[in-house]
Amino acid sequence: MTRQDLCRKILTIVRQRLSETLGCSVDDIPELSLGRATNLLFLLCGQNLSIGEYGGTMASAFTLVGDLLWKLPSEFEAEEKKSEEKVVAIN
């Protein structure tokens, strides 16, 4: 599993929790980076047992996905396409 795939999976879960908290559809939530979506979830819910504590959660997310934490999914999808083009050019 790539870091991009992992980031997408975590972001999907965070977006679902945001939609439940806000009482709206997941589709109503705009495209957010994982870092911003997580920050918004903490702003709305505060620290509780279902989320954990802020510092540890953000540190764990950064450890897992690195700089993708603050990128929009569309940005790292564009980077994936560029890297695929490089592989094709090298072969």
Give per-residue pLDDT as tens, 6-48: 999 999 999 999 999 899 999 999 999 999 998 888 888 876 6
pLDDT tens per residue across span 70-86: 888 888 777 777 766 66
Of 16, 11, 14, 13, the C-alpha closest to 71 is 11
pLDDT surpassing 90 at residue 2: no
Q: Which of 13, 3, 22 is nearest to 50 (CA)?
A: 13
Query: To which residue do tokens 């072969």 refer?
Result: 91
Indicate the pLDDT class of residue 89, thresholds 50, 70 and 90. low
The pTM for the full model equals 0.76
